[in-house]
């Protein structure tokens, strides 16, 4: 069994499993025509979601581009797995995360976000989806990097 020093190291190292009985022609001979189906078990990521990979990649890309500095705060409008994955990655990389969630988000999702240290701000669940993510008054004004 693999051992990792951090959840971030475990992220993405999910198994690839051959689906022999579901494959049209799973042939072991090298010269035979074959069709092999494989399943990537992304539920084995630390948060149980395929979203762990893109969440970490977004943070790492922002770091590389100089748009995210140590101790910064990330703000994410979310209602699902991306927010939970971002919360895990942000926590492990030393960032604060504020998630803007619809007020009807499940208690379980809220608990997972809080477990990873995310601050939650609620937005209205009703109305036009494009208008649900207004800038909450409780957030500080945006700053520009020079």
Tokens 């090298």 belong to 30
Q: Distance of alpha carbon 101 from its chain centroid, rounded?
A: 15
The Cβ of residue 113 has, within 10 Å, a number of other Cβ atoms equal to 23
Check if the beta carbon of residue 76 is closer than 8 Å to that of residue 113.
no
The gap between the terminal CA atoms of the chain, to the nearest Å, is 47
Look at strands 73-77 and 38-40 and give their pairing. Answer: unpaired
Check if the beta carbon of residue 110 is closer than 8 Å to that of residue 79.
no
And the tokens for 91?
């926590």
Per-residue CA distances from 47 to 5, 9, 40 (Å): 16, 13, 15
Catalytic positions, written as ranges: 51
């Amino acid at each position: 069994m693999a051992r990792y020093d951090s959840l971030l190291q475990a992220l993405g190292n999910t198994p690839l499993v051959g689906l022999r009985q579901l494959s049209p022609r799973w042939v072991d001979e090298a010269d035979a025509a074959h069709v092999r189906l494989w399943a990537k078990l992304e539920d084995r990521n630390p948060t149980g979601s395929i979203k762990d990979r893109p969440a970490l990649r977004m943070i790492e890309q922002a770091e590389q581009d100089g748009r995210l500095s140590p101790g910064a705060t990330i703000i994410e409008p979310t209602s699902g797995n991306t927010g939970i994955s971002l919360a895990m990655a942000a926590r492990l990389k030393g960032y604060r995360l504020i998630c803007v969630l619809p007020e009807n988000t499940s208690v379980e999702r809220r608990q997972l976000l809080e477990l990873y240290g995310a601050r939650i701000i609620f937005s209205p669940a009703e109305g036009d989806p494009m208008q649900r993510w207004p800038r909450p008054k409780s957030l500080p004004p945006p700053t520009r990097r020079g």
